[in-house]
Structure 1
Amino acid sequence: MKALLAFIKKELKEQLRSGRVILLGILFVLFGIMNPAVAKLTPWLLEMSSDSLAEIGMAVTTVTVSAMDSWGQFFRNMPIALISFVLLESSIFTREYQTGTLVLSLTKGLERYKVVASKTIMLGTLWTVCYWICFGITYGYNAYFWDNSVVQNMLLSVVCWWGFGMWIISLMIVFSTVLDANTGVLAATGGIVFGSYLLGLLPGVKKYLPTLLMDGNSLIYGTAETETYIIPLIITAAMSVICIAVSIPLFNKKPL
C-alpha cells in the first residue's frame, strides 16, 4: 500500500510540474462559466445583429433564455472538454516508456499492477474533479440567473456524461499498456468511440452503447425515458472495469 501511495504521489507531482493540472483546471472552469454566459448573451447578440439580419429579410423576435439553454450548452461543450482532457493525458504511460523512468521504479521492486492502479486513480480523480467543478460552476450561475428546477433528470444526465468520460479513461489505460506512442493511444481510443457512434446509428443497437450516455439534452428536456439510459450506464461501467482488469496482465507482459 505504501508503494502505491508513493507512486500516486509521484504521479501528482508530475501532473503539477508539467502544468497539466493547472491547464485542465483553467479549461474546465472556463467551460463552466461559458455555459451560462453564452445563454445569457444570446438575446443581446441577436439584438446587435438584428439590423444586418433584417437586410437579408430575416426578422429577429424577442428571445427568452432560461437554465435549459445553459444546460444545453453544457452538454454541447462537454465533448470539447473531454477531448481536451484526452489530448493532455494520453501520454501518461507513453512518456514514461520514452524516458525510461518506469524501469527505474520497477527495478526498485514496484509491482506492475500498482503502476496501472496509480495511473488509473490519477486519471479518474482528475476527470472527476474537473468535471464536477465545471458542473458546479454552471449550476451555481444557472441558479443565480434563472431556475434549475425547470431541468428534468439533471442528476442522471450529468452522471451519464461522467460515466462516459470514465469509459474513455479506461480505453486510454488499456491501449496505453500495449502501445508505445500517445498518437496510437489517441487513434485507438478515438476509433473505438467512432465505431460505437456508427453502431449507434442502428436503432436496435443504440440503446446498449456507451455513446448513448452523451445525449444529455434528451434527458433534461424530458424527451427520453430515464430507463433507456440505465442499461447503457451499467454496460459502460462493466466495460470500464473490464478494460482496467485486462490492462493489468497486458502491462505485465509488456517489455520496457
Structure 2
Amino acid sequence: MKMCLIFIKKELLEYSRNKKLFLMLIIFALFGLLSSLIAKLTPIILESVSTNGVIIQMPEPTELDSWAQFFKNIGQMGMLTLILVFSNQMSIELEKGTLVNLFSKGLSKNAVVMAKFFVSLIIWMTSCLIAFTITWLYTGYFFENTISIELLLFALSLPFLFGVLLLSIELLGGITTGSTVGTLSFVGVVTLVQLILSIKTDWNKYFPIYLVTNSLDVLKNTNTTVFHFPIVITIILTFVVIISSLIAIKKRQIV
C-alpha cells in the first residue's frame, strides 16, 4: 500500500512537471469560459453580417444554448484532449523500462495499473468540474440559471462516465500494444466501432457513446430513464476493461 501511494505521488508530480496537468485544467477552463461567450456572441455576430442585402436574424440566446455549447465542447474537443493527454501514460513506462526498479522494490503490477487509473481519473474529474463551474457561473451572469443543479450534474456525469471508460481503454491499449500509436489506434477502433453500430437508431441507446452524443437531451426533456441502460453498460465495461488490464500486465514481460 505504501509503495502504491508513493507511485501515485510520483504520477502526480510527473504530470505537474510535464505540464499535462496544467494543460488539462487550462483547456477545460477555456471550455467553460467559451461555452457561454459563444452562445452570447454568436447571434450578435451573425446579425451584423449582411450578404447581398440579406440580414441574418437569430433568436435571442438562452441558458440552454450555453449548455449546448458546453456539452459540444466536452463531447468533442474535451474527449480528444483527454485521449491525447493520457495516450502514453502506460506505453512510455514500458518503452523506457522505468518500472523495472520499482517492481524490484516490491511494487506490484496491479498497483501500477490502479494508481495510473486513479490519477488520470482525478485529473479528468477535476477538469470536468472546473469547466462545469465556470460555465454555470457565466451562464448565470449572461442569462439566468433556471435549470436545477441536480439535473445539470446528472447531464455532466454522462460524458464524464464515457471519459472514464476511455481512460480504462487507454490503459489496456498501452499494456497490450506497448506504444503510444498503438494506444491511440486501440481507442480509435473501439470508438469507431461504437459510432458505426450506433448509426442504427434502434441500437444507439445501448452503447456508451450514447452518453456523449445525447447528453443535452437530459436538459431538453428532463428524462433520465433512457440513459440508465447505457450508464450501466458503461460502468460494467469499465470494470471489465480494468480487470483485463490487470490480467494483461501480469502476463506482460517487463524488461
- Aligned-pair distance for 1:86? 1.1
Question: Structure 2 matches for 1:69-218, cutoff 5 A?
Answer: 69-78=65-74, 79-150=76-147, 153-214=151-212, 215-218=214-217
Q: Relative to structure 1, is the Cα distance of residues 204 and 58 closer, same or farther in structure 2, using a 3 angstrom cutoff? A: same
Residue 250 of structure 1 corresponds to which residue in structure 2? 248
- Aligned-pair distance for 1:154? 2.4
For 2:24, the aligned partner's letter is: L
- Aligned-pair distance for 1:188? 0.8
Give the SS at the match of 2:54: coil
8 Å Cα contact 1:210-1:233 kept in structure 2: yes
Give the SS at the match of 1:240: helix
8 Å Cα contact 2:48-2:55 kept in structure 1: no
Bigger shift: 110-119 or 174-183? Answer: 174-183
For 1:44, the aligned partner's letter is: I
RMSD of equivalent CA atoms: 1.6
8 Å Cα contact 2:86-2:167 kept in structure 1: no
8 Å Cα contact 1:151-1:221 kept in structure 2: no
Say whether 1:236 aligns with 2:234. yes
The one-character-per-residue Cα deviations of 1:22-58 (angstroms, maximum 9, x if unpaired) are: 1111111111101001011112211321x3x2x1x63
Give the SS at the match of 2:203: helix
Residue 17 of structure 2 corresponds to which residue in structure 1? 17
For 1:65, the aligned partner's letter is: P
Give the SS at the match of 1:204: coil
CA distance in 2, matches of 1:138, 1:159: 15
1:59 corresponds, among 55, 70, 76, to 55
- Aligned-pair distance for 1:62? 5.1
CA distance in 2, matches of 1:25, 1:251: 30
Give the SS at the match of 1:71: helix
8 Å Cα contact 1:32-1:135 kept in structure 2: yes
TM-score, reference length from structure 1 = 0.93
The one-character-per-residue Cα deviations of 1:150-171 (angstroms, maximum 9, x if unpaired) are: 5794232111111111111111
Identical amino acids, percent of aligned pairs: 29
Would you say how many aligned residue pairs link Structure 1 and Structure 2?
251
The one-character-per-residue Cα deviations of 1:130-166 (angstroms, maximum 9, x if unpaired) are: 0111011101111122122157942321111111111
Post-superposition, which runs of at least 4 consecutive aligned residues in structure 1 deviate over 6 A? none
CA distance in 1, matches of 2:253, 2:164: 27
For 1:41, the aligned partner's letter is: L
For 1:176, the aligned partner's letter is: G
CA distance in 2, matches of 1:168, 1:213: 13
TM-score, reference length from structure 2 = 0.94
For 1:227, the aligned partner's letter is: T
For 1:88, the aligned partner's letter is: V
Residue 27 of structure 1 corresponds to which residue in structure 2? 27
Instruction: Note the residue ranges of structure 2 that are not aligned, 5 or more in a row.
Output: none
- Aligned-pair distance for 1:217? 2.0
- Aligned-pair distance for 1:82? 1.5
Q: Relative to structure 1, is the Cα distance of residues 100 and 76 closer, same or farther in structure 2, using a 3 angstrom cutoff? A: same
